[in-house]
Amino acid sequence: MSAELSVMERSQAIKAMAMELGFELVGFAKAEYMEDEAVHLKEWLGLEYHGSMAYMENHFGKRVDPRKLVLGAQSVISLGYNYHSNETLNVEQSPKISSYAYGRDYHKVIKKKLKTLASRINEIYGAFEHRSFVDSAPVLERDWAFRAGLGWVGKNTLLINPKKGSKFFLAEMIVDFELKYDNSIADYCGTCTKCIDACPTDAILEEGYVLDASKCISYLTIELKDDDLPEEYKGKMENWMYGCDICQDVCPWNRFAQQHYEEDFLPKPELMEMTKEDWNGLTEEKFNELFQGSAVKRAGYKGLMRNIGFLNLDSN
């Protein structure tokens, strides 16, 4: 068996293992310095589009070179895990939560699967140097997913897969062995501007492909830790109290999105039944009960109540 064939077989086997664990998208890219992405990131930071997310400026070298994260890194395994839900918070005029946060915190769910994947690779191919990440380290996960052929970067700046849409959590495993690398795919956004037109805070630049995160509803409701939200966004939040799905919901490619099969991502029935009166009167005790083990805990009770108050639900 030639070395090239063994690399191919190993690549196919790892993809099969990942699929068995529930990942729907898997691809491989060579671990190397990301020259173009480094330029774009530097420009984006220079324009201060990252707002108060100072951590985006940290570890720049590691963000654009995975070899600084794993000794002897040769490959980046990129994975996508579906979270699309056909359910919605179904009471009119109630505040909304991004569907990715309906269930258990995805960091915990996917990190466990990555650990299992690493163990299976180790069992078959022996010990290897690696590190796994899911939205938790200085890794340009969207750009690695693009390089690995999982989709293209759309005008809304999210990764879009032509068969499955964009509602995926992205994860990576940086490894010290060679794989059969995938090709990136073409951009199919075409002349569509639905995401740009639909964004109520004009967070996506007019030409698309660049996000001023400091204007994004997800940033405002999760990342911004100020006691008060900027008054300029009053009446523009469209009732989002945690995250925002607007630019994904209007994307034509998400007509192909399918309901996820992850039990941990299912919402608690009582969450789906909350009324605007319930949200206005939410106690810290009830918050902890509703969102135990949830990504919403990142905003905290105080942050969520700040967001709810800003929406001025009583006037809706």
Catalogue the active-site residues.
135
Alpha carbon 178 to its chain centroid, in Å, reads: 26
Mention every residue, 6+ apart, whose C-beta is less than 8 A from residue 290: 268, 270, 271, 274, 296
Beta bridge partners of 159: 153
- The Cα 68–Cα 308 span in angstroms is 42
Nearest-CA neighbor of 138 among 172, 184, 181, 178? Answer: 172
The CA radius of gyration of the chain, in Å to the nearest whole number, is 20
> Where in the chain does DSSP place strands (E)?
25-30, 75-82, 96-97, 130-133, 152-153, 159-160, 168-175, 240-242
Mind giving me the DSSP string for 39-108?
A: HHHHHHHHTTTTTT-GGGGTTHHHHT-GGGTSTT--EEEEEEEE---S----STT--EE-GGGSSS-HHH
Q: Tell me the one-letter amino acid at 31.
A: A
Q: Write the CA distances from 53 to 95, 225, 241, 304, integer angstroms.
A: 25, 10, 19, 18
The position carrying tokens 């699929």 is: 19
Neighbours of 287 (CB within 10 A): 19
23 φ/ψ sector (left φ>0, alpha ψ -120 to 50, else beta): beta
